[in-house]
Amino acid sequence: MDILKELPITDNHIHIDPVNGLGPEKVAKTFKNAGGKVMIIPNKPAFSTNLTKPMDEMLSIIEKVRENGIIAFGILGAHPAELTVMLRNGIELETAKKYMIDALDYAKKMVLENEFLIGIGEVGRPHFEVEEKIWDVSNEILTYSMEIAKDIDCAVQIHAENASREQFKEFSEMAKSVKLSPEKVIKHHSSDMVLEGEEFGIFPSIVASKPIDTAIEKSTRFLMETDYIDDLKRPGVVLGIKTVPRKTRQMLENEIIDEEICFKIHKENVENVYGIEIDF
């Protein structure tokens, strides 16, 4: 009997691209066959001024994933790389900022109107060095994303530079400044920063590789992700589709976690941070 058969397995950050990647049917089937049950899917970047196009594709992606036996939810946002790409293409900073804000307003409307869209993300700031004025505008856009999350009572998932205690403190204070609970703020790619998450209320989402091994020794207050990109030109980036089920199975077989902890990480934590119920 498959050890994962009756257990919830959630990938908190997995991209699906119906044009340039395997697409929703193949990704869903691969994930299911590996033992996966639930996907949280952020829209991919547009890398154009038409930032809402990938958002419009999300409902179709979610529907097809669900038709193939996986519980799927979407989060919508304007990836911080959109801003830097627009600037590189000659668009003025204030104009690019307006495109980002307008896209976030569109995401807000879609999340309000669709039960399977459950959060704002991924949003944030570049993970690489940029001019101070770009950094400042990125933080303004991130703060606005948190305002939206507060307004519609949903989670916000952040893309940013490498996680640190100082960063978690900053994001916590940023959330509190707009009266959003830090418990609704998810830091994507959080290394093993679980204790820092507990300290400041930020919810870490951790890639299902070596950081999980050290995180689990400290706490069970985290989500698991692959950040799978779904691009046929970059197969398996960042981690492959099967990685979260495979890593969870490995930890169960090695008695690093038990079924109770599995439910905590893959169901309870997901339900609490996103305000949803998962029935599988």
Q: Is residue 2 part of a domain?
A: no
Domain containing residue 227: 12-274
Cα separation, 79 vs 44, whole angstroms:
8
Q: Is residue 279 part of a domain?
A: no
Q: Is residue 120 part of a domain?
A: yes
Q: pLDDT tens digits, residue range 123-172?
A: 999 999 999 999 999 999 999 999 999 999 999 999 999 999 999 999 99
Q: How many domains does the chain have?
A: 1
Q: Is residue 280 part of a domain?
A: no
Q: Is residue 144 part of a domain?
A: yes
Q: Where residue 198 sits, what CATH number does that domain have? A: 3.20.20.140
Q: Is residue 88 part of a domain?
A: yes
Question: How much of the chain exceeds pLDDT 90, in percent?
Answer: 99
Neighbours of 113 (CB within 10 A): 9
Q: Is residue 247 part of a domain?
A: yes
Question: Confidence class of residue 280 from pLDDT cuts 50, 70 and 90?
Answer: confident
Q: How is residue 145 written in tokens? A: 């994303």
Q: Is residue 4 part of a domain?
A: no
Does the pLDDT value for residue 1 go beyond 60?
no
Q: pLDDT tens digits, residue range 224-270?
A: 999 999 999 999 899 999 999 999 999 999 999 999 999 999 999 99
The model's pTM is 0.97
Does the pLDDT value for residue 62 go beyond 80?
yes
